[in-house]
C-alpha cells in the first residue's frame, strides 16, 4: 500500500514541533514526512529582538534542523514555498517545483503588517528573520561609525514604531546596548535618542497597567523617550512622520527606523486561496482549515477565537507549540483512521523582557517584575528548546546566565 505523504511547511515553533512529535509517534514505514523550510536552520523567533539590538549573536538563536530531526523518518527540503495548490494537493516551491501531499500542515509564521503606511516597506526595518535581525544590528553600528565622520546627529536617533511586546522587548535590549556602542564608537551617550512611537493611549495596550507603568519608568530611566498616542503616518529615507493632533504631522529625523507595530500571517495563505483575515485562517477546532479534510493550519497563520471575549488569541509561540502537539496527534489519527481531537488553548501567561536583566509578566495569574520576570523569561525560552530537542539541545543553546 502507498504510504501517506505528510508535508509540513515551515520549521518554526509550530512546524518543527509537529515534525519532531510525528517522528516519535509514527512507526517505521507508516508514512512519509517532508518538512519544507526556507533555510536549513531553525531560529527562535522569540529571541530575534536580541540579535537585532546586537545583545546576542544570531548564531546563538539558530540551530541546524538536522540536529533535531531523524533523517530516516523526516525528509528536510530546504526551499521557499510559493503557493499551495489545494485542488492538485501540491506544494509549489522555488527550486523543487512541485511537492505532492496527502496531508498538509501550514506553519509559515508571520510577516510584518505595515497597514499601507507610505514608505515603511522601503525605509523601515522589521524584526522578522535572522537576516533582518543581522541587518538591523549592522545598520545601527554603521550609523554610529559614520557619525564619527560627518557628525550628523540624526544618525544616532533610533525610532521604534509600536510599543507592543516586540517593540518594548527590542527597546529593552537597545537600552542595554547603547552604552557599549557609545563607548566603542567614542560617542557622547547624551547625543543618542531611542524613541518609541505608539498610536494607542498606552504602551503595551491591554496589559496590566501597573506593570506597564513599571516598564515605561524603567526604560525612561535608561534614556528611552516615549511618544504615546502618536500614530506613525509615514516613513522616508530621512526619518519618520508622526501624527500630531487632528491634521498636523511632524517629521522626526532618524538614522534607523524599526517597524514593530503589527504582524499578519504569511502571504502564502492568501495566495493559495485560503479564506483569511490578514493572512490568518480561522481554523476548525481540529485545526483543519475550513472546508478541508487534509490541510491543517497552525501558528501565526492560524486564528483561534477566545470564546470568553469573542476575540482572536494573539499569535504567540506559546499557542503555536500547543497547536503543534494536537496537530501531530490529529495527523496520526487521519493516517491510522482514528478520531480527531479538538484544540483547546491553555494560556500560561505572558512575560515581556526589558533587556536581559529586567522584565514584567503575568504567569498563572500572578504578577512578576524585575529579576524574577527576567529569570522566568529565560526559563520559558529554555522550555521551548527542551520541548523540541530535549536535554541535548537545551544544553547546547539554553540560556543559563540568569543574572
Ligand atoms: P515561526 O516560528 O516564525 O516559523 C516560521 C518558519 O517558516 C520559519 O522557519 C521561516 O523561515 C519559515 N518560512 C516562512 N516563509 C516561508 C516560505 N515561504 N517557505 C519556506 N519556509 C518559510 N511569542 C511568545 O509566545 N512568547 C514570546 O516571548 C514571544 N516573543 C517574541 C519576540 C519577537 C521579537 C517576535 C518577533 C515574536 C515573539 N513572539 C513571542 C511571537 C512568536 O515568535 C510567534 O508567534 C511564533 O514564532 C509563531 O510560530 P510559527 O511556527 O507560526 O512561526
Ligand atoms: P502587536 O500588534 O501586539 O503590537 C503592535 C503595537 O503597535 C500596538 O501597540 C499598536 O497600537 C501599535 N501600532 C499600530 N499601528 C501603529 C502606528 N501607525 N503608529 C504607532 N503605533 C502603532 O505586535 P507585536 O508587538 O509585534 O506582537 C506580535 C505578536 O507577537 C503578538 O501576538 C504578541 O503577543 C506576540 N509577542 C509576544 C511577546 C511576549 O510574549 N513576550 C513578545 C513579542 C511578541
Residue 71: give its domain's CATH number: 3.50.50.100
What distance in angstroms lies between residue 85's CA and the mean position of ligand 2's atoms?
Answer: 32
- Please state the rounded mean pLDDT for residues 294-323: 97
Contact at 8 Å (CB) between 247 and 233?
no
Please report the atom of ligand 2 found closest to the CA of residue 167: 25
Name the H helices within 185-316.
209-221, 267-271
Crossing angle of helices 317-336 and 13-25, rounded to 10° = 30
CATH number of the domain enclosing 134: 3.50.50.60
List, for residues 253-279, the tens digit of each pLDDT value.
999 999 999 999 999 999 999 999 999
Q: What is the pTM of this model?
A: 0.98
Which of 348, 370, 390 is where one domain is finished? 348
* Ligand nearest, relative to CA of residue 13: 1
Which of 240, 259, 278 is where one domain is finished? 259
For residue 47, tell me if it sits in a domain.
yes
What distance in angstroms lies between residue 399's CA and the mean position of ligand 1's atoms?
Answer: 19
pLDDT score of 71 more than 90:
yes
Q: CA 220, CA 208: separation in Å to the nearest integer?
A: 18
Place of cell 530546504: 78
Please report the atom of ligand 1 found closest to the CA of residue 352: 28
Range of the domain at 52: 5-112+263-348
Same domain, 191 and 69: no
169 flagged as catalytic: yes
For residue 371, tell me if it sits in a domain.
no
pLDDT bucket at 403, cuts 50 / 70 / 90: low
Nearest to 254 by CA among 354, 173, 140: 140
* Ligand nearest, relative to CA of residue 8: 1
Query: Within 13 Å and on the Cβ side, how many CA atoms surround 153?
Result: 8
How many angstroms separate the Cα of 353 from the Cα of each of 52, 53, 240, 398? 14, 13, 26, 16
Which of 232, 259, 286 is where one domain is finished? 259
How many domains are there within the chain? 2
Please report the atom of ligand 1 found closest to the CA of residue 45: 43
Among protein residues, the one whose CA lies closest to atom 36 of ligand 2: 165
Testing ligand 2's pocket by substitution, the residue of 165, 211, 232, 359 carrying the most ligand atoms inside 8 A of its CB is: 165
List, for residues 158-211, the tens digit of each pLDDT value.
999 999 999 999 999 999 999 999 999 999 999 999 999 999 999 999 999 999
For residue 395, tell me if it sits in a domain.
no
Same domain, 211 and 319: no
Strand segments, DSSP code E, in 245-374 are: 248-253, 256-259, 263-265, 281-282, 295-297, 302-303, 305-306, 311-312, 349-353, 359-363, 366-369
Ligand 1 environment, Cβ below 6 A: 10-15, 36-39, 45-46, 48-49, 80-81, 107-109, 127, 166, 169, 266, 268, 299-300, 315-318, 320
Q: CA 54, CA 141: separation in Å to the nearest integer?
A: 9
Same domain, 213 and 126: yes
Same domain, 28 and 130: no
Same domain, 98 and 222: no
For residue 244, tell me if it sits in a domain.
yes
DSSP state of 47: G
Same domain, 72 and 131: no
List, for residues 327-339, the tens digit of each pLDDT value.
999 999 999 999 9
- pLDDT for the residue 382: 98
Amino acid at each position: 500500500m502507498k504510504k501517506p505523504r505528510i508535508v509540513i511547511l515551515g520549521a518554526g515553533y509550530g512546524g518543527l514541533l509537529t515534525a519532531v512529535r510525528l517522528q516519535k509517534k509514527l512507526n517505521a514505514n507508516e508514512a512519509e514526512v517532508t518538512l519544507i523550510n526556507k533555510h536549513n536552520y531553525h531560529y527562535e523567533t522569540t529571541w530575534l529582538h536580541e540579535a537585532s539590538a546586537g545583545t546576542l549573536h544570531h548564531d546563538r538563536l539558530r540551530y541546524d534542523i538536522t540536529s533535531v530531526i531523524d533523517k530516516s523518518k523526516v525528509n528536510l527540503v530546504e526551499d521557499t514555498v510559493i503557493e499551495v495548490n489545494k485542488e492538485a494537493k501540491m506544494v509549489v516551491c522555488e527550486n523543487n517545483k512541485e511537492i505532492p501531499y496527502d496531508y498538509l500542515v501550514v506553519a509559515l509564521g508571520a510577516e510584518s503588517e505595515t497597514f499601507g503606511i507610505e514608505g515603511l516597506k522601503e525605509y523601515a526595518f522589521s524584526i522578522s528573520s535572522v537576516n533582518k535581525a543581522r541587518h538591523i544590528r549592522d545598520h545601527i553600528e554603521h550609523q554610529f561609525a559614520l557619525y564619527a565622520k560627518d557628525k550628523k546627529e540624526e544618525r544616532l536617533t533610533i525610532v521604534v514604531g509600536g510599543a507592543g511586546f516586540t517593540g518594548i522587548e527590542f527597546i529593552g535590549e537597545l537600552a542595554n546596548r547603547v552604552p557599549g556602542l557609545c563607548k566603542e564608537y567614542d560617542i557622547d551617550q547624551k547625543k543618542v535618542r531611542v524613541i518609541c512611537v505608539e498610536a494607542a493611549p498606552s504602551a503595551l495596550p491591554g496589559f496590566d497597567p501597573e506593570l506597564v507603568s513599571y516598564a515605561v519608568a524603567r526604560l525612561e530611566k535608561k534614556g528611552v523617550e516615549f511618544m504615546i498616542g502618536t500614530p506613525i503616518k509615514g516613513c522616508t529615507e530621512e526619518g519618520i512622520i508622526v501624527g500630531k493632533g487632528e491634521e498636523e504631522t511632524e517629521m522626526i529625523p532618524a538614522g534607523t527606523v524599526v517597524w514593530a507595530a503589527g504582524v499578519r500571517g504569511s502571504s502564502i495563505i492568501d495566495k493559495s486561496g485560503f479564506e483569511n483575515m490578514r493572512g490568518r485562517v480561522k481554523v476548525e477546532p481540529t485545526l483543519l482549515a475550513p472546508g478541508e479534510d487534509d490541510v491543517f493550519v497552525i501558528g501565526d497563520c492560524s486564528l483561534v477565537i477566545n470564546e470568553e471575549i469573542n476575540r482572536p488569541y494573539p499569535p504567540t509561540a506559546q499557542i503555536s507549540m500547543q497547536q503543534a502537539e494536537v496537530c501531530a496527534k490529529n495527523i496520526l489519527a487521519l493516517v491510522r483512521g482514528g478520531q480527531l481531537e479538538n484544540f483547546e488553548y491553555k494560556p500560561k501567561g505572558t512575560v515581556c523582557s526589558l533587556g536581559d536583566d529586567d522584565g514584567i509578566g503575568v504567569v498563572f495569574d500572578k504578577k512578576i517584575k524585575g529579576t524574577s520576570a527576567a529569570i522566568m523569561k529565560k526559563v520559558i525560552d529554555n522550555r521551548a528548546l527542551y520541548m523540541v530537542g530535549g536535554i541535548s539541545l537545551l544544553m547546547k543553546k539554553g540560556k543559563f546566565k540568569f543574572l
